[in-house]
Amino acid sequence: PLVVEALESVGLADAIDLMPEELSGGMKRRVALARTLILRPKIILYDEPTSGLDPITAKEIIELMRSIQKKYGTSSLIITHDVDCARVISERMILLVDGINYAQGTYDELVKSNDPKVEAFFKK
């Protein structure tokens, strides 16, 4: 029951009988989330959740992260270089420069910064 519920939460109920080698990259990330959800965590740590994914799958993973936050009431700590991911999912961002907390705020606050080191994160 817990496994089925967790797989349903990440949109993989139909994949319950698949072997690991039969899963795509996006499906493997969803399975990792399902395994985490079984533990009912209050905080989920994501390390580069969209790296190596095509743009469509990356968007699906971001939306999944948002739906998990809402459904389970979890907080998320996301480590990412994907500024679009951070923009969509974060309420607050912390920018690290040379390993230190250099700047923090909302996406909108940070993107308006005149600080060259902060601006560098948001250049296209």
Residue position matching structure tokens 């799958």? 57
> Can you give the residue ranges of every domain in the chain?
2-80, 91-124
Task: Please say whether the dihedral angle defined by the alpha carbons of residues 42, 47, 51 and 52, taken in this order, is positive or negative.
Answer: negative
pLDDT band, residue 98 (cuts 50/70/90): very high
79-93 confidence digits (pLDDT tens):
999 988 999 999 999
43-81 confidence digits (pLDDT tens):
999 999 999 889 998 998 999 999 999 999 999 999 999
25-42 confidence digits (pLDDT tens):
889 989 999 999 999 999
pLDDT at 124 over 70: no
pLDDT band, residue 7 (cuts 50/70/90): very high
Percent of the chain scoring above 90 in pLDDT: 77
Cα–Cα distance, 109 to 3 (Å, whole number): 40
Assigned fold of 2-80: Rossmann fold (3.40.50)
CA distances from 67 to 70, 91, 98, 103, 107 (A): 5, 15, 33, 28, 20
